[in-house]
Structure 1
Amino acid sequence: MDTVHGISLVLHLIGWAVVLGGALAGMKSTTLPSGTFHGILTALVTGIILTGLLGADANHVKIAVKLVITLLVTVLVVLGRRRPEKVTRGSLGAISGLVVVNVALAVLWH
């Protein structure tokens, strides 16, 4: 079970890194790279797997807050993918900021 947890955690972190990197890379040309969509799906699915592996030991409030943030990022990425002409620096900044907040919550909230 430790191996599944470790692999899921690595994939989760890579997913968030792809989302943050894609949003920051898109700032100059106000585009959302297609990899950002795959990154957020990876982060979402592996986050659900990690929560399932925690079972009863999970901090349910923390998980709920992180899930809401993840869903907000997912909506912004999906909207940016469906309507690339609507992608603005503000939406890319919101994606980047929410990713940083989500990672900070994971690390700092015990």
Structure 2
Amino acid sequence: MSVLISLLVVLHMICWAVALGTWVAAARTRVPNPGMSHAAAGALVLGLVLMVLVPLTGDANSMKLGIKFLVAAVATAFAYVAAYRREQTPSVIWFGIPTAIIANIVIAVFV
């Protein structure tokens, strides 16, 4: 079971890295790549799977998992709004994407 959880955590982090990387690649032009929203959605789905599996191991912090889920949902929603609005994406949403992604990673590492 720990090998499965470790593999899912690696895939989860790769999805966040792809979402942040595609945002950085599009930051100057502010034309989002559709891969950003798909990577954020993949990270969200993998996070949900991990939320189900981690409590089975007995070492789950429910508050941390809940906060991470909310932040991931915000990042995913912002990414899909940016993909839909394209160049007309408001600055709050555009800069909220990397903020939410980085906040999610910081919560995962330091909390």
TM-score (norm 2): 0.89
Contact 1:27 1:89 in 2 (8 A): no
Instruction: Point out where structure 1 has 5 or more consecutive residues left out of the alignment.
Output: none
Query: Which letter maps to 2:3?
Result: T
Q: Which of residues 61, 65, 72 is equivalent to 1:70?
A: 72
Q: Which runs of 4+ in 1 moved over 4 A?
A: none
The answer for the alignment partner of 1:47 in structure 2 is 47
How far is 1:83 from its partner? 1.6
Per chain length, whose mean CA-contact separation is higher, i.e. which structure has more relative contact order (CA < 8 Å, sep 6+)?
1
Q: Which residue type is aligned with residue 44 of structure 1?
A: L
User: Which whole-Å CA distance do the structure 2 matches of 1:95 and 1:76 have between them?
Assistant: 6
Please report how far the alpha carbon of residue 85 of structure 1 lies from its aligned counterpart in structure 2 after TM superposition. Answer: 2.9
* Matching residue of 1:82: 84
Paired residues of 2:36 and 2:79 also in contact (CA < 8 A): yes
Q: Which residue of 1 aligns with 2:28?
A: 28
2:103 counterpart residue number? 101
Partner deviation per Cα, 1:35-58 (whole Å, 9 max, x = no partner): 111211110111111111111532
Aligned mates of 2:26, 2:87 — CA distance in 1: 13
Q: CA deviation at 1:64?
A: 1.1
Shift of 1:92: 2.8
Q: How far apart are the structure 2 equivalents of 1:49 and 1:58?
A: 13
Alignment-mate amino acid for residue 77 of structure 1:
A
Q: Identity of paired residues, percent? A: 28
Q: Unaligned 5+ residue runs, structure 2?
A: none
One-letter identity of the residue aligned with 2:43: A
The answer (yes or no) to whether the contact 1:15–1:39 under 8 Å persists in 2 is: yes
How many residue pairs are counted as aligned between the two chains?
Answer: 109
RMSD, matched Cα: 1.4
